[in-house]
Amino acid sequence: MFGTSGIRGIYGKDITPELALKVANAFAESDVSIGRDTRESGVPLAFAAMSGVLSSGNNGIGLGIVPTPLVAFATMKFGCGGIVVTASHNPAEYNGLKFMRKGREISRAEEKRVLERHGKGMEYGAEPGERRVENVIPDYMELVKKNVDAKLIAKKKPKVVVDCNGAGAVVTPYLLRELGCGVVSLNCETRGFNRPSEPNKENLSWLSSAVRACGADFGIAHDGDADRCAIVDERGELLNADVQLALMIEEELARKKGNVISSVESSLIVKETVERNGGEFVLTPVGSVHVSEEMEKSGAVFGGEPAGEYIFRGGVLVPDGVMAAAKYVELYCSKGKLSALAGRFKTNEMAREKFRTSDRANAMEKIMGTLKLEGKRETGDGIRIDGEGYWVLVRPSGTESIIRLTAEAKTKELLDKVAGKAREAIKKAV
């Protein structure tokens, strides 16, 4: 039932109010705060989840429409569990449930426990719990303000177009206005979506035009639950995801030296930026849960994945698109035009291929034995080899019967050579 990030699927088919009721009941070992994104199916799901919590005898805290990081914040503020009704960047017909505790998504071990309890059926407390409603937005905004140079932003007063298209609409435009930005809001209604949820180039054409038309300094976009943040420069160009991540890593390492956590899919740009700025680069399996766990373990200063999901030391332990938005505002105020900052990075040659197989586990085992390339080997999530000027990742898909090959290298020749060797090893194994 659980995927990389909670439970997700099509509303009415995979994800129903009945499921939300039962899983929330199984999850409720303590009080639980519940928030949702702007999907209209979130209304019945959030009420069902609330009912599941209250029937367990625990108290429920209704947060209304809020980004995922604010539910994480509520779990820290109230010392309770948290449920977010969202399907994140997935299309509008999807919905889902994310579970949190102590500012982060629950561990794989707790997911297992929830499944076991869910399997035993509904558990009713002696008396129903109490429901109350809380507004965590003001306290959360204070937390973000403490993490940026508010004085500098108030002095520079940048002009920003904010395209929320989801739960970010209740926070980001207000936060940036309070910080002193001139904010133009786009897609900031709180019912449904106006564009597809994923903040990619195709879906951000309105934002790009709006940035140019308003003569704004840059644009900010979120996905449906605002744990992601994507940046468009003053020319309306969406920043390359790796470059955007590298810019933030420079900032965070300038604040404090230490480990930077990223997943096995992160690029050479990211790795080199960490090393050039005196940080230690640590890789985890794909997924923010792993990045967050590793951050805790190694006391890292920052964790981020190229999808625009960044975890900040001073904030909550889930990706926080709202905090990221404020940090890019600060970055612009201290360093200037984002197009110029991004232009300093040179993107490399990349190869992405997929191979069909009937037995992913068996194929991976063979590849582990036969793939010989020079470099540091990581085998936490498929196999990644980091060599001089390149990296290669061979990883089974989580959902499809395929093995994926990703490779990046400084030159075309080197890419052909290393991707060729990996391709050979995979073809023999599938």
320 lines the binding site for Mg ion (CB under 5 A)? no
Residue whose CB is less far from Mg ion, 268 or 326 = 326
Kindly write out the interface string for residues 64-103 of this chain, putting x where it contacts Mg ion by CB under 5 A and - elsewhere.
------------------------x---------------
- How far, in Å, CA of 255 to CA of 245, rounded? 16
88 is catalytic: yes
Residue whose CB is less far from Mg ion, 88 or 273 = 88
Those residues with Cβ within 8 angstroms of residue 163's Cβ, 6 or more apart along the chain or in another chain? 186, 187, 195, 199, 204, 206, 207, 210, 219, 220, 221, 222
Residue 267's Cβ-side half-sphere holds a number of Cα atoms within 13 Å equal to: 22
Q: Smallest Cα–Cα separation from 204: which of 248, 164, 246?
A: 164
Radius of gyration of the chain from Cα atoms?
Answer: 22
**Distance in Å, CB of 184 to Mg ion, minimum:** 23
- How far, in Å, CA of 72 to CA of 101, rounded? 7
**Distance in Å, CB of 401 to Mg ion, minimum:** 26
Count residues binding Mg ion (CB under 5 A).
4
Of residues 5, 33, 55, 88, which has the active-site annotation?
A: 88
**Distance in Å, CB of 304 to Mg ion, minimum:** 14
Residue whose CB is less far from Mg ion, 217 or 223 = 223
The sheet that has 159-163: what strands, in order across it? 182-186, 159-163, 218-222, 229-232
- How far, in Å, CA of 246 to CA of 304, rounded? 9
Find the largest Cα–Cα distance for the chain: 70
Residue whose CB is less far from Mg ion, 127 or 202 = 202
Residue whose CB is less far from Mg ion, 223 or 252 = 223
**Distance in Å, CB of 5 to Mg ion, minimum:** 8
Report DSSP state, residue 420: H
Residues 317 and 72 sit within 8 Å (Cβ to Cβ) = yes
Residues 398 and 373 sit within 8 Å (Cβ to Cβ) = no
- How far, in Å, CA of 19 to CA of 130, rounded? 21
**Distance in Å, CB of 319 to Mg ion, minimum:** 7
What the block records as the tokens of 241 is 């995801």
Residue whose CB is less far from Mg ion, 169 or 363 = 169
Residues 106 and 99 sit within 8 Å (Cβ to Cβ) = yes
Residue whose CB is less far from Mg ion, 221 or 364 = 221
H-assigned helices in 135-255: 137-146, 150-156, 172-179, 205-214, 241-255
Report DSSP state, residue 228: B
**Distance in Å, CB of 37 to Mg ion, minimum:** 8
> In this chain, which residue has its C-beta nearest to Mg ion?
88
**Distance in Å, CB of 156 to Mg ion, minimum:** 29
| CA 224 to chain centroid | 11
Report DSSP state, residue 107: P
Q: List binders of Mg ion among 196-255 (CB under 5 A).
A: 223, 225, 227
Catalytic residues: 88
Residues binding Mg ion (CB under 5 A): 88, 223, 225, 227
